[in-house]
Amino acid sequence: MKKALTLLLFFNLLISSSKVAVAIKINCKVSLVSSKDRSKTLLKPGTPLNDEDKVMTSKDSFAAIMYLDDKSVIKVLSNSDLTIIGERLKKGISKSLDIGYGKITANIAKQKGNEFRISTPTSVASVKGTELAITSDPSNGDSFTLLEGLIEVTNSITGESMEVSQGETAVSTPQGSLEVEATTIEDMEGFEQAEVEIPAQDLRFEVEDADGNIKEIIIKFR
């Protein structure tokens, strides 16, 4: 009973705060562009993220981001631009990612009644719960490689949609084409950074509740 009350209090604090995710690992210099005032700072482990905050990596840098409600983990590889989006609901966070460019991997927990949407300049992917690797280039298009689960990819130019299963890769282009093929070794080239281990850790940060009170939240990442 005590554990249930603790979890309820925890989620109530999350819902009443503006925080939707937290940085759990950073390598080299990673920039955080605030959605509130567009200021740019260095992103550090344990930094909470708000809805529409942007994460930008440069050469050799890396960031791992975890959503606060279900511990879905997003890894942002070098030379990438990603906007974290989260709408706080009564039973969690409605999530989506806006990829400007670069390479991203996502280990997404099963979503309760909501789709996890991933958008690029060329495509939109609808996810219920899966693990996938994404490459996005505004000039050449996108690839979505399914490591586990099932997604639906839509080419934003033509509106064509296709399902992608484990072991398959969808390629969507700015010219409007959308194809799904068996995944090859070449499809996973450049994703070596995503294999970095994320250590178990206790993440501590402060949130402000609806009454303006500051509370400390501790999240155990295992």
C-alpha–C-alpha distance, residues 86 and 123, integer Å: 19
Tens digit of each residue's pLDDT (9 = 90 or more) over 105-163: 999 998 877 779 999 999 999 998 899 999 999 999 999 999 999 999 999 999 999 99
C-alpha–C-alpha distance, residues 180 and 47, integer Å: 37
Question: Residue 193: is its pLDDT beyond 50?
Answer: yes
Tens digit of each residue's pLDDT (9 = 90 or more) over 21-73: 999 999 999 999 999 889 999 999 989 999 999 999 999 999 999 998 888 99
- pTM of the predicted protein model: 0.84
Q: Which helix or strand (DSSP H or E) is residue 5 part of? A: helix 2-16
Largest CA distance in the chain: 56
Tell me, what's the pLDDT at 88? 80
C-alpha–C-alpha distance, residues 103 and 137, integer Å: 9
Question: Residue 11: is its pLDDT beyond 80?
Answer: no
Contacts of 141 (CB under 8 A, 6+ apart): 122, 123, 171, 172, 173, 174, 175
C-alpha–C-alpha distance, residues 168 and 132, integer Å: 10
Tell me, what's the pLDDT at 215? 62
Are 217 and 10 in contact by the 8 Å Cβ rule? The answer is yes
Are 144 and 151 in contact by the 8 Å Cβ rule? The answer is yes
Are 86 and 51 in contact by the 8 Å Cβ rule? The answer is yes
Which CATH number characterizes residue 168's domain?
2.60.120.1440
Per-residue confidence at 171, pLDDT binned at 50, 70, 90? very high
Tell me, what's the pLDDT at 8? 39
| Residue 79 structural domain | 2-221
Q: Per the structure, how many domains does the chain have?
A: 1
Question: Residue 89: is its pLDDT beyond 60?
Answer: yes
Tell me, what's the pLDDT at 216? 63
Tell me, what's the pLDDT at 134? 98
Contacts of 50 (CB under 8 A, 6+ apart): 18, 19, 20, 34, 35, 36
Nearest Cα to 17, choosing from 222, 219, 217?
A: 217
C-alpha–C-alpha distance, residues 54 and 100, integer Å: 10
**What 3-state DSSP class applies to 141?**
strand
Question: Residue with structure tokens 């958008």?
Answer: 119
* C-beta neighbour count of 18 within 10 angstroms: 16
* C-beta neighbour count of 99 within 10 angstroms: 24
Mean pLDDT, rounded, of the chain? 86
C-alpha–C-alpha distance, residues 154 and 177, integer Å: 10
Rg of the Cα trace of the chain? 17
